Structure 1
Amino acid sequence: MLRRLGLAAATALTLSLPAFAEAVTDFRLANGLEVVVIEDHRAPVVTHMVWYRVGAADEPPGHSGIAHFLEHLMFKGTDELKPGEFSATVEAQGGDDNAFTSWDYTAYFQRVAADRLDLMMKMEADRMRDLQMSEDDVKTERQVVLEERSQRTDSDPDAIFGEQRRAAQYLNHPYGIPIIGWRHEIEQLDREDAFSFYRTYYAPNNAILVVAGDVTPDEVKRLAETHYGALEPTENLPPRLRPQEPPQLAERRLTFTDPRVAQPYVARSYLAPARESGAQEKAAALTILAELLGGSPTTSLLASALQFGEAPKAVWSQAYYDGSALDSGSFSVAVVPVPGVSLQAAEEAMDAVIADFLKTGPDPEDFARIKTQLRAHDIYSRDNVDGLARRYGAALTTGLTVEDVERWPEVLQAVTPEEVVATAREVFDRRRAVTGWLEQEEEESQ
């Protein structure tokens, strides 16, 4: 969520602060490991991240969830560290660590004092190639993942609804498979599955090391060569060739009912362009479009028309663009109707707002305000070295370059109202949309 500022205050902010460009250095070791260094010497801390160019969309058929499952197993131990010792060591240094998996990447990070970077690199390099896991480790962690799915997905009708909508959106591309995996396939994952995936993809020539904070490029290069430089790359690393989505020619609709639903709503997602290296203009236009339509809970077009009009039809509305993907992005809109307003009426009202926008385009004052807010958000975000590390890691694992990341704020500011409307007309094609209704299941009369 963007930090909301008044137009005058935000304009004054962007005029008073010069354009900020973090000092970023990018180089590659002989074994293929890409290294990005983001310097910030304001505090003696450092974020150390290793990103692997592999995620849920790269899993072998029938093994959904293996990328996320391996993420769990990476904390079990190595030939030098006992199970649990990795995180315990980070904690003993006053730091914290964790990991996360997406469709396009898996990342591991530690936040520690800058003088502990050497130790972090030593441990992370150790588990890049020397992971150990017993049958008991696999059995235990598989049960943990199944319980995670039970708590976060199977017991939550909203999560199930989202999972089903995504499966309908992607009929052929693995983006339609949940990151955590389908339950019946998680239950079958074994030690050999995990090791096969690990040995193939967890290698220096399939990884990006991002170090942000109180460091210098020379220091990071010396440490990286010491700890990561000797690791053997994976020979014949498989190319990232996923099954692609055929052209969607008809709208897909679904209704999910569940007695646990507390608040019915309508949601629609469209296939949309992702950020493309060297050609980020459409992604920038969609970013601004999402802010105009539903970025603010009070001033966006959907909110103004549906929540604060003469006859409110919604208690909440949203528009969201996700362009951080290797293959395909998406643009989503959603409306939660007020009690007494049907989902059909809510959907029609949502469509009316979109149709009006396509006819009239953005209000010039709103357009200027959104650009100012995006600029202010960019300035504030650079105070967070963790966020900067994630920004570069996510970009580089989804086909973008350091230059693309650095140019993104300029691309956003260069977008015109005409480009936003043209891109909206291209994306808002119901033949490429999935529309879903989430409803409360009515109890049968006795």
Structure 2
Amino acid sequence: MLMKKRRKLSIAILFALCFTVLPLNATFFPYLMYEKELPNHMRIVVVPIRDARTVSFATLVQTGSRNETDHGYTGYAHLLEHMMFRGSENYSTEDRVNLLYRYGGDSNAFTSMDYTCYTVSCDPAGWQEVLALEADRLMRLSLKKEDFKAETGAVIGEFGISEKYPSNRMDNALRACMFQGHTYEHSVIGYREDVMNMPDGYEYIRDFYKKEYRPDKTIMFIAGKIDRPGDVLSKIEDLFSGWTYEPAPLPTIRPSLKPVSCQDTLYDASIPAPRVKIAWKIPGYAQDRLGHIAARILAEHYFSDNSPLMIKLRDEKKWISSGTYSVPLTIDPYWISLDLVLTEEGVGAAIGDYVLGILQDSRYTLKAGELESLKKRQFYKTHMQLSSPSSILRVLADYAHIKGDPQEINHYFLALERLEILDIRQCKENYLTRRNQSELWMLAR
């Protein structure tokens, strides 16, 4: 009996040395994380979920449109995402489809300004084969010329569709003004001229893949029905141990919080309704975690559907029919944006001045009790997204992309918990000002 106990103790010690168990439920995340960093600096995170019926993968590559620093080559992070479904050294496109079909698999991906994420969900019985499939495309993507030609055509078609949406055109125009000199000034899909020239960029995308898809920029998350997380970590390490890269300096991207006020009007007779977009530049999460979180709280307070401002604009003034706001979680300074669909009465109204007046009116200032309610609301809204292995990984990846830290979700909510009225007031005074407020209108005439 004593020998058995000693053996169990030795196994436990060996298990602890091989990887780190991170009990994140102390702050926000309700599951255990088993995390390991490989010698090549790739990070692996395994999240066992009791009663899950599937296994999900989310592979985060810290490369997005923000990393497109070469003139004339915007949109290549998104194009490379397309190419990642076109086969690898050991798996053709057909092989991939058949393997995922065998295990009821679902595979998808998206590219953002800051990162690209590849997702797969499957029957737990197929996790090892799906893992090998994912590893092969990360390390040994085929990048055949005929596939490149097909995908550049698909992206050109996608670009043409995106241009038809008024909201996209407005985003692009305002982004180009507010973030001049930074790679946030162009959209994820890229500038029109660069997209149209993509068929000539075969050699460039090969270099882009080699430069940007590196183990030190990659985090692989796996969640779901996992009985032996140590076996999963060991298997991943075996697969990726040969993934090497040549350390090279990455381009310097300099963020700027300099206030900016862009004012412009676009005209399009075909739009279904006139619109206005109002935006304020705010700190990026990587530079100022607390300031960025304060901006998100302010946006919720002033611009949510039932806020006093929106009720006045929609129900009392009848200047708008609807409105939404957005505060993307970004590395560098980006925006709070308020997107309003106008009524006929709203077209000639001084909406920007009215919004600024509400922001400066002490009657609508955020109070301490309201701050606590908004903290709880943000907590529970995020917690409700942790409803399945795939959605859990999507949330984890969105927070982890900022600094490459799988625990960032906990750092975020710890900072949110510590947020005080003084932080809110300082953020509002610094950024929700006239000299930092931009407006873009889109009218039919």
Coarse TM-score class (shorter-chain normalised): 0.7 to 0.9
Letter in 1 for 2:311: S
Q: Does the CA contact (< 8 Å) of 1:157 and 1:260 recur in 2?
A: no
**Offset, 1:360:** 4.8
Q: 1:108 to 1:20 in 2, by over 3 A?
A: closer
1:400-411 aligned within 5 A: 401-411=405-415
Cα deviation code 1:163-185 (max 9, x no counterpart): 11111111100111111112221
Helix, strand or coil for the counterpart of 1:49?
A: strand
| Per-residue Cα deviation, 1:332-357 (whole angstroms, up to 9, x for no partner) | 22333332233443333222222225
What's the CA shift for 1:26?
2.3
Amino acid at match of 2:245: T
Note if 1:52 corresponds to 2:57: no
- Pick from 364, 369, 372 the counterpart of residue 376 of structure 2: 372
Task: Compute the displacement of 1:131 (Å).
Answer: 1.4
Counterpart CA distance in 2 for 1:109 and 1:379 is: 20
What is the Cα-based RMSD across aligned positions, in Å?
Answer: 2.3
The 5 A counterparts of 1:120-131 are 120-131=130-141
Q: Which amino acid in 1 is paired with 2:248?
A: L
Q: Distance in 1 between matches of 2:139 and 2:98?
A: 20
Partner of 1:314: 320
Q: Out of 186, 194, 198, which is 2:205 matched to?
A: 194
Q: Which has the larger displacement, 168-177 or 363-372?
A: 363-372
2:385 corresponds to which of 366, 381, 386: 381
Aligned to 1:119: 129
Partner of 2:234: 222
Quick one: structure 1 residues 305 and 106, their matched pair in 2 at CA, closer, same or farther if it must change by over 3 Å? same
For the residues of structure 2 that align with 1:318 and 1:370, how far apart are their CA atoms? Answer: 17
The answer on 1:325 being equivalent to 2:336 is no
Matched, 1:208 2:222: no
Cα distance change of structure 1 residues 226 and 434 upon mapping to structure 2, 3 Å threshold:
same
Structure 2 vs 1, CA of residues 292 and 67 (structure 1 numbering), >3 Å: closer, same or farther? same
Other-structure match for 2:185: 176
Identify the residue that residue 66 of structure 1 maps to in structure 2.
76
Shift of 1:191: 1.7
What is the distance in 2 between the residues matched to 1:347 and 1:205?
44
* Cα displacement string for residues 253-290 of structure 1 (whole angstroms, at most 9, x for unaligned residues): 1111111111112212121112238x632222222111
One-letter amino acid of the counterpart of residue 122, structure 1: A
Q: CA deviation at 1:112?
A: 0.9
Deviations 1:81-114 (CA, angstroms, capped at 9, x unpaired):
2234324421331010011111211111101122
Q: CA shift at 1:74, angstroms?
A: 1.3
CA displacement, residues 131-172 of structure 1 (integer Å, 9 cap, x when unaligned): 1133221111111100001112x2223311211111111110
* 1:426 equivalenced with 2:430 (yes/no): yes
Match of 2:170 in 1: 161
State how far apart, in whole Å, the 1-side matches of 2:361 and 2:323 are.
16
Q: CA deviation at 1:363?
A: 4.5
Following superposition, the deviation at residue 66 of structure 1 comes to 1.1
**Alignment coverage as a number of residue pairs:** 415
Deviates more, 1:135-144 or 1:336-345: 336-345
Give 2:426's aligned amino acid: A
Deviation, 1:397, is 2.4
SS in 2 for 1:146: helix
- The amino acid across from 1:161 in the alignment is M
Distance 1:130 1:235, change over 3 A: same
Using the TM superposition, name which of 359-368 and 385-394 deviates more: 359-368
TM-aligned CA distance change 1:343 to 1:64, over 3 Å = farther
CA distance in 2, matches of 1:222, 1:401: 20
Which residue number corresponds to residue 361 of structure 2?
Answer: 356
After superposition, the Cα gap between the structure-2 partners of 1:403 and 1:131, relative to the gap in structure 1 and judged at 3 Å, is: closer
Compute the TM-score of the two structures, normalised by the length of structure 2: 0.86
Q: In the alignment, residue 239 of structure 1 is paired with which amino acid?
A: L
Specify the alignment match of 1:274 in structure 2: 284
Structure 1 contact 265–343 (Cα < 8 Å) conserved: no
Contact 1:87 1:96 in 2 (8 A): no
Is 2:402 the partner of 1:390? no
| Candidates 417, 422, 425, aligned match of 2:421 | 417
Q: Which amino acid aligns with 1:236?
A: P
Q: Is the 8 A contact 2:73 2:194 kept in 1?
A: yes
2:114–2:330 Cα contact (<8 Å) kept: yes
Q: Pick from 251, 261, 267: which aligns with 1:257?
A: 267
Distance 1:376 1:129 in 2: 38
Q: Work out which of the residue numbers 300, 306, 331 in structure 1 matches 2:307.
A: 300
Conserved? CA contact 2:28–2:409, under 8 Å:
no
How far apart are the structure 2 equivalents of 1:400 and 1:356?
40
Provide the rounded CA distance (Å) in 2 between the counterparts of 1:284 and 1:244. 18
TM-score normalised over the length of structure 1: 0.86
Quick one: structure 1 residues 69 and 251, their matched pair in 2 at CA, closer, same or farther if it must change by over 3 Å? same
Whole-angstrom CA distance in 1 between matches of 2:58 and 2:84: 14
- Moved segments of 4+, more than 6 Å: none
Gap change, CA 1:157 and 1:280, over 3 Å in 2: closer
Taking the aligned partners of 1:254 and 1:205, their CA distance within structure 2 comes to 42
Structure 1 position 422, deviation (Å) = 2.1
Shift in Å at residue 45 of structure 1?
A: 1.2
Query: Any idea what SS the aligned residue of 1:392 has?
Result: helix
CA distance in 1, matches of 2:135, 2:107: 15
Name 1:283's counterpart in structure 2: 292
User: How far does the alpha carbon of each residue in 1:212-270 deviate from its partner, in whole angstroms, 9 at most, with x for none?
Assistant: 22224312211111211222x2112333522444834x521111111111111221212
Per the TM alignment, residue 52 of structure 1 is displaced from its structure 2 partner at its CA by: 1.1
